[in-house]
C-alpha cells in the first residue's frame, strides 16, 4: 500500500478529552474518529488492526469447533420479557419502538436470541453439545462512556454460547473455551491473566475474567507472586499474611494502595467485625443515602465514622434501607443495581455534609448491602477483599494487587435461560430436560485499546506483529528527485508485498522527519529507509520500532531478512 493511496489521519496534538494513552494514540494515529459519546468510526488504518484481532479470535473459535453465526443486533422485547431481563437490565439497555409501536432493544448481549434459536432447532440430546459464536456489534448505554473504544457504547464483541445435556459436558467446553482464550491473548502478545470472578447477580457456579494488565485498568485483581492464583479482589480470600523478610523493600515494590479487608472496614465503623459491610445505608435529615465503602476508600470510611459520631447521619434500619433503595437485602452487585439508583444514591451521598459522592464506582464489583446493625450474616461470609502482601489462599505466598482491563469473560450459566425460556431437549430416557448453558465473551474492539496500553512509547504505538496494520514501513527519501530511490522503493514494495509482509510505502513528498514521526506514531514494527546515500553503498537502512539503533542491509537481502 502507498500512503498517497492510503491517506493517514495522524495528528501531533494530544486530544484534550482523551484521558488514557491508548485513547490519545488511537485518535492521534488516525485509527478511530469520534462521532458522539461512546460512538467511534474505525478508519481504514484502525480497521486493519481490528480485523487482525477478529482473525485470531475466529481462528481459535473455529479450532475448538465453535460454529459462526450472525444474529440481529435488534432484538424483540418479548424475548427479554420471557427471560425477565426486560425489567432487570436497567438503562444500559437501549430500547426502541418500530413504526407499529412494537418494542425492541439493541442487543447488549445475545443470550435470549441464541436460546430462542436453539429451542427451535435443537430437540434431542443427540444434537448436543453445540457451541455458536458471532463477532458482532453490541450497544450498551454505558453511564460513563470513556477511554475511547475501551468503554464505548457501541462496540464489537465476540460472543459465544454453548448448550449441553449435563454439567460435565458444559465443563469440558468451558475448559476448551478457556484454553482458546489463553491462546488468543498469547497470540496477540498480550500480558494477561485469567482471574476468578464472581458470577454476580446472574448466578451460576463458575466464572473467570481475562484481564490485560495495565495501570490504567478499571479493575483491581489479586495476583499471587508465587503460584498462578489470580482473582478479582472482591472475590479473593486470603490466609494470614506470611512474615515479610524485607518489609521496606516490599513496600516500595507495591505502588498500588492496599485494599482494606471488609472486616477492617466494619471495625472502623464500629460495626460487628465479622459482618460483611461493603456499604451501609444511612439517614441524614431523614433522607436516605447509601455509602459505598469500596476497596481502599479510607477517606470515606473516616468520614463515615465521624459523621456517625457527630450525629450528622444515623444507620438506617433494614426496612428504611430497603424502602430507600428498593433493593431487597442480600448480595447485589453494582451491575445488578439499576443505574438510576446508583446515580440517585450518589447524589444523596453528595448532599450529606462531609461526604464525597463515590466517583470510583468503576472499582466496585460487589456491594454487600448490610441493612444496618441487625442484618443477618450473608451466606457468603467468606467473601472479603484482600490487600497487597496478604497470603495466597492457594499456596500462602504473598498476594499483589494489580490493575487489569477486562478483555474476556467465560461463564458457566447453568439452566437460567433455558428454564425461563423453556429450552428443553429429550434426554436418553425420553424426558424433557432444560439445556445447560455456558457463555463466553471477548471485547474485540477493547482488545485493540488494551494492546496499546501495553505497547507504546513517547513516540507512539508499538504494535505486536499479529496486530500491526502493516508489517513494514518503507520510507523513501527524495524519491521524487531520485529515480534510483524511487525504483528501489517500488521494487521492495512489490517484493515485500509478494512475500506477504504487508508493506506501507510512504511515497509522499514530505520531509523525512514527518514521515519517520508518522510511521513511529502508527507503530509499524519494521522500517526501511531508502536514500541515495544508502543505495550508493548498495544498502537500505533498517530499524525495528522498539530498537534504539539502525543497521544497514544489502538491498538484495531485505526480503529474506524480514521474512
Ligand atoms: P465491564 O466490566 O468492563 O463493564 P462487562 O463485564 O459488563 O464489562 P461482559 O458482559 O462480560 O462485559 O462482556 C464481554 C466483554 O465485552 C467484556 O469482557 C469486555 O471485554 C467487553 N465489553 C463490555 N463492555 C464494553 C464496552 N462498553 N466497551 C467495549 N468493550 C466492552
Ligand atoms: Mg459492563
Ligand atoms: Mg465486568
Ligand atoms: Mg464481564
pLDDT band at 206 (very low <50, low <70, confident <90, very high): confident
pLDDT band at 9 (very low <50, low <70, confident <90, very high): very high
Given a cut of 50, whether residue 301 has pLDDT beyond it is yes
Angle, helices 44-63 vs 167-187, to 10°: value is: 140
Closest residue by CA, ligand 1 atom 8: 406
Closest among 560, 530, 532 to 542, alpha carbons compared: 530
Residue 101, CB half-sphere, CA atoms under 13 Å: how many? 0
Res 487: pLDDT: 98
Res 274: pLDDT: 38
pLDDT digits (tens, 9 = 90+) for 329-375: 443 333 334 444 444 444 554 554 444 433 333 333 223 733 333 33
Residues 82-98, mean pLDDT to the nearest whole number = 93
How remote is the CA of residue 143 from the centroid of ligand 2, in Å?
Answer: 10
Closest among 103, 68, 64 to 87, alpha carbons compared: 103
- Ligand 1, residue 405: give the atom nearest the CA: 3
Res 17: pLDDT: 86
Closest among 392, 385, 399, 390 to 266, alpha carbons compared: 385
DSSP 8-state code for residue 352: S
Bridge partners of residue 156, in order along the sequence: 137
Query: Which of 366, 440, 446, 452 to probe ligand 1 with, by most ligand atoms within 8 A of CB?
Result: 446
CA–CA separation, 67 vs 133, rounded Å?
Answer: 6
- Residues 197, 207 contacting (CB under 8 angstroms): yes
How remote is the CA of residue 152 from the centroid of ligand 4, in Å?
Answer: 14
Res 265: pLDDT: 53
The helix or strand, by DSSP H or E, that contains position 424, with its residue range, turns out to be: strand 424-426
Residue 511: CB atoms within 10 A of its CB come to 11
DSSP 457-506: ETTEE---GGG-S-SEEEEESSTTT-HHHHHHHHHHHHHHHHTT--EEEE
Closest residue by CA, ligand 1 atom 31: 443
Given a cut of 90, whether residue 236 has pLDDT beyond it is no
Ligand 1 pocket check for 406: Cβ under 6 Å: yes
Res 285: pLDDT: 61
Residues 18-45, mean pLDDT to the nearest whole number = 97
Res 383: pLDDT: 35
Given a cut of 60, whether residue 91 has pLDDT beyond it is yes
What phi, psi does 429 have (nearest 5°)?
Answer: -95, 5
For 101: left if phi > 0, alpha if psi spans -120 to 50, otherwise beta; the answer is left
Closest residue by CA, ligand 1 atom 7: 335
Res 224: pLDDT: 81
Closest residue by CA, ligand 1 atom 22: 443
Contacts of 123 (CB under 8 A, 6+ apart): 425, 426
User: Which of 257-261, 407-411, 423-427, 512-516 shows the lowest per-residue confidence on average (mean pLDDT)?
Assistant: 257-261
Query: Which of 141, 157, 185, 445 to probe ligand 1 with, by most ligand atoms within 8 A of CB?
Result: 157
How remote is the CA of residue 464 from the centroid of ligand 2, in Å?
Answer: 27
pLDDT digits (tens, 9 = 90+) for 387-445: 677 777 777 778 888 899 999 999 999 999 999 999 999 999 999 999 999 999 999 99
- Ligand 1, residue 218: give the atom nearest the CA: 3
Residues 521-550, mean pLDDT to the nearest whole number = 97
Bridge partners of residue 192, in order along the sequence: 212
User: Which of 270-284, 419-433, 462-476 shows the lowest per-residue confidence on average (mean pLDDT)?
Assistant: 270-284
Bridge partners of residue 527, in order along the sequence: 473, 543
Pairing of strands 103-106, 32-36: unpaired
pLDDT band at 205 (very low <50, low <70, confident <90, very high): low
Of the chain, the end-to-end C-alpha distance in Å amounts to: 18
Res 136: pLDDT: 98
How remote is the CA of residue 441 from the centroid of ligand 1, in Å?
Answer: 8
Given a cut of 90, whether residue 232 has pLDDT beyond it is no
SS3 assignment, position 368: strand
The helix or strand, by DSSP H or E, that contains position 412, with its residue range, turns out to be: strand 399-414
Q: Return the CA Rg of the chain.
A: 27
How remote is the CA of residue 270 from the centroid of ligand 3, in Å?
Answer: 32
Order of strands, sheet of 472-476, starting from the edge strand that comes earlier in the sequence: 503-506, 472-476, 526-530, 539-544, 551-554
Ligand 1 pocket check for 135: Cβ under 6 Å: no
Residue 335 Cα distances to 129, 219, 361, 397, angstroms: 30, 14, 10, 32
Residues 259-281, mean pLDDT to the nearest whole number = 50
Mean pLDDT comparison of 190-194, 224-228, 318-322, highest-scoring range? 190-194
How remote is the CA of residue 186 from the centroid of ligand 3, in Å?
Answer: 21
Res 129: pLDDT: 98
- Residues 159, 134 contacting (CB under 8 angstroms): yes
Residue 44: CB atoms within 10 A of its CB come to 14
Res 404: pLDDT: 92
pLDDT averaged over every residue in the chain: 82
Residues 37-58, mean pLDDT to the nearest whole number = 98
DSSP 206-255: -EEEEEEE-TT-SEEEEEESSSS-EEETTT---BPPPPPS-HHHHHHT--
pLDDT digits (tens, 9 = 90+) for 495-504: 999 999 999 9
- Residues 132, 115 contacting (CB under 8 angstroms): no
CA–CA separation, 183 vs 180, rounded Å?
Answer: 5
ipTM surpasses cut 0.90: yes
What phi, psi does 403 have (nearest 5°)?
Answer: -95, 145
**Pure H helices in 282-375:** 298-309, 318-325, 339-351
Ligand 1 pocket check for 361: Cβ under 6 Å: no
pLDDT digits (tens, 9 = 90+) for 145-162: 999 999 999 999 999 999
Given a cut of 50, whether residue 116 has pLDDT beyond it is yes
Percent of the chain exceeding pLDDT 70 equals 72
User: Which of 122-131, 231-240, 272-281 shows the lowest per-residue confidence on average (mean pLDDT)?
Assistant: 272-281
Closest among 403, 409, 337, 359 to 144, alpha carbons compared: 359
Given a cut of 60, whether residue 382 has pLDDT beyond it is no
CA–CA separation, 412 vs 313, rounded Å?
Answer: 42
DSSP 8-state code for residue 271: S
Ligand 1 pocket check for 446: Cβ under 6 Å: yes
Res 390: pLDDT: 73
Bridge partners of residue 2, in order along the sequence: 505
Given a cut of 80, whether residue 57 has pLDDT beyond it is yes
Contacts of 228 (CB under 8 A, 6+ apart): none
Res 322: pLDDT: 62
Closest residue by CA, ligand 1 atom 28: 151
For 114: left if phi > 0, alpha if psi spans -120 to 50, otherwise beta; the answer is alpha
- Residues 315, 373 contacting (CB under 8 angstroms): yes
Cα 155 to chain centroid distance, Å, stands at: 11
How remote is the CA of residue 6 from the centroid of ligand 1, in Å?
Answer: 32
Ligand 1 pocket check for 158: Cβ under 6 Å: no
Closest ligand, as measured to the CA of 405: 1
Ligand 1 pocket check for 408: Cβ under 6 Å: yes
Res 226: pLDDT: 80
Closest residue by CA, ligand 1 atom 16: 443
Ligand 1 pocket check for 402: Cβ under 6 Å: no
DSSP 8-state code for residue 259: P
Three-state SS across 27-89?
A: HHCCCEEEEECCEEEECHHHHHHHHHHHHHHHHHHHHCCCEECCCCCEEEHHHHHHHCHHHHC
Ligand 1 pocket check for 107: Cβ under 6 Å: no
Ligand 1 pocket check for 407: Cβ under 6 Å: yes
- Residues 205, 412 contacting (CB under 8 angstroms): yes
How remote is the CA of residue 406 from the centroid of ligand 3, in Å?
Answer: 6
Res 529: pLDDT: 98
Residue ranges with CB less than 5 Å from ion ligand 4: 409
Residues 104-116, mean pLDDT to the nearest whole number = 97
How remote is the CA of residue 514 from the centroid of ligand 2, in Å?
Answer: 40
Residues 515-528, mean pLDDT to the nearest whole number = 98
Query: Which of 42, 406, 445 to probe ligand 1 with, by most ligand atoms within 8 A of CB?
Result: 406
CA–CA separation, 237 vs 225, rounded Å?
Answer: 15
DSSP 1-40: -BTTTS-----SSPPTT--SHHHHHHHHTTSEEEEETTEE
Amino acid at each position: 500500500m502507498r500512503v498517497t493511496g492510503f491517506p493517514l489521519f495522524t495528528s501531533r496534538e494530544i486530544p484534550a478529552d482523551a484521558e488514557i494513552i491508548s485513547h490519545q494514540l488511537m485518535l492521534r494515529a488516525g485509527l478511530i474518529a469520534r462521532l458522539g459519546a461512546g460512538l467511534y468510526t474505525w478508519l481504514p488504518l484502525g480497521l486493519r488492526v481490528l480485523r487482525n484481532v477478529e482473525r485470531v479470535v475466529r481462528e481459535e473459535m473455529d479450532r475448538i469447533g465453535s460454529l459462526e453465526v450472525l444474529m440481529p443486533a435488534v432484538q424483540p422485547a418479548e424475548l427479554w420479557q420471557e427471560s425477565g431481563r426486560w425489567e432487570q437490565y436497567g438503562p444500559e439497555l437501549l430500547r426502541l419502538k418500530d413504526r407499529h409501536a412494537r418494542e425492541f432493544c439493541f442487543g447488549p448481549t445475545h443470550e435470549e436470541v441464541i436460546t430462542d434459536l436453539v429451542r427451535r432447532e435443537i430437540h434431542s440430546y443427540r444434537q448436543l453439545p453445540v457451541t455458536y459464536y458471532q463477532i458482532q456489534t453490541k450497544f450498551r448505554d454505558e453511564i460513563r462512556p470513556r477511554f475511547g473504544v475501551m468503554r464505548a457504547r457501541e462496540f464489537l464483541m465476540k460472543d459465544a454460547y454453548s448448550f449441553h445435556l449435563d454439567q460435565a459436558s458444559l465443563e469440558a467446553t468451558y475448559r476448551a473455551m478457556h484454553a482458546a482464550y489463553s491462546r488468543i491473548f498469547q497470540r496477540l502478545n498480550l500480558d494477561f491473566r485469567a482471574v476468578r470472578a464472581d458470577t454476580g447477580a446472574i448466578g451460576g457456579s463458575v466464572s473467570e475474567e481475562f484481564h490485560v494488565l495495565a495501570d490504567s485498568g478499571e479493575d483491581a485483581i489479586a495476583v499471587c507472586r508465587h503460584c498462578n492464583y489470580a482473582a478479582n479482589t472482591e472475590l479473593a480470600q486470603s490466609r494470614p499474611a506470611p512474615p515479610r523478610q524485607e518489609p521496606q523493600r516490599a513496600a516500595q515494590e507495591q505502588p498500588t494502595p492496599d485494599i482494606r479487608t471488609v472486616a477492617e472496614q466494619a471495625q472502623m465503623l464500629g460495626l460487628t467485625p465479622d459482618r460483611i459491610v461493603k456499604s451501609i445505608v444511612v439517614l441524614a435529615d431523614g433522607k436516605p443515602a447509601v455509602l459505598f465503602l469500596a476497596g481502599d476508600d479510607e477517606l470515606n470510611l473516616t468520614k463515615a465514622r465521624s459523621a456517625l459520631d457527630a450525629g450528622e447521619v444515623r444507620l438506617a434500619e433494614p426496612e428504611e434501607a430497603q424502602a430507600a433503595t428498593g433493593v431487597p437485602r442480600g448480595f447485589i452487585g453494582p451491575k445488578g443495581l439499576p443505574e438510576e439508583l446508583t446515580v440517585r444514591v450518589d447524589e444523596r451521598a453528595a448532599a450529606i455534609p462531609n461526604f464525597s459522592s463515590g466517583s470510583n464506582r468503576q472499582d466496585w464489583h460487589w456491594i454487600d448491602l448490610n441493612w444496618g446493625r441487625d442484618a443477618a450474616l450473608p451466606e457468603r461470609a467468606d467473601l472479603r477483599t484482600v490487600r497487597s502482601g496478604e497470603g495466597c489462599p492457594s499456596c500462602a505466598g504473598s498476594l499483589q494487587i494489580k490493575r487489569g482491563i477486562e478483555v474476556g469473560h467465560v461463564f458457566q450459566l447453568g439452566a437460567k435461560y433455558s428454564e425461563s425460556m423453556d429450552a428443553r431437549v429429550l434426554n436418553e430416557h425420553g424426558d424433557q430436560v432444560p439445556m445447560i448453558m455456558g457463555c463466553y465473551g471477548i471485547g474485540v474492539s477493547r482488545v485493540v485499546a488494551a494492546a496499546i496500553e501495553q505497547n507504546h512509547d513517547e513516540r507512539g504505538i508499538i504494535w505486536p506483529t499479529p496486530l500491526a496494520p502493516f508489517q513494514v514501513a518503507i520510507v523513501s527519501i527524495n524519491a521524487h528527485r531520485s529515480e534510483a530511490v524511487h525504483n528501489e522503493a517500488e521494487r521492495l514494495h512489490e517484493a515485500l508485498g509478494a512475500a506477504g509482509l504487508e508493506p506501507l510505502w510512504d511515497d509522499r513528498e514530505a520531509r523525512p522527519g514527518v514521515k519517520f514521526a508518522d510511521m513511529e506514531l502508527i507503530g509499524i514494527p519494521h522500517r526501511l529507509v531508502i536514500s541515495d546515500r544508502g543505495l550508493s553503498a548498495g544498502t537500505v537502512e533498517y530499524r525495528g520500532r522498539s530498537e534504539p539503533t539502525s543497521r544497514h542491509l544489502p538491498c538484495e537481502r531485505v526480503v529474506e531478512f524480514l521474512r
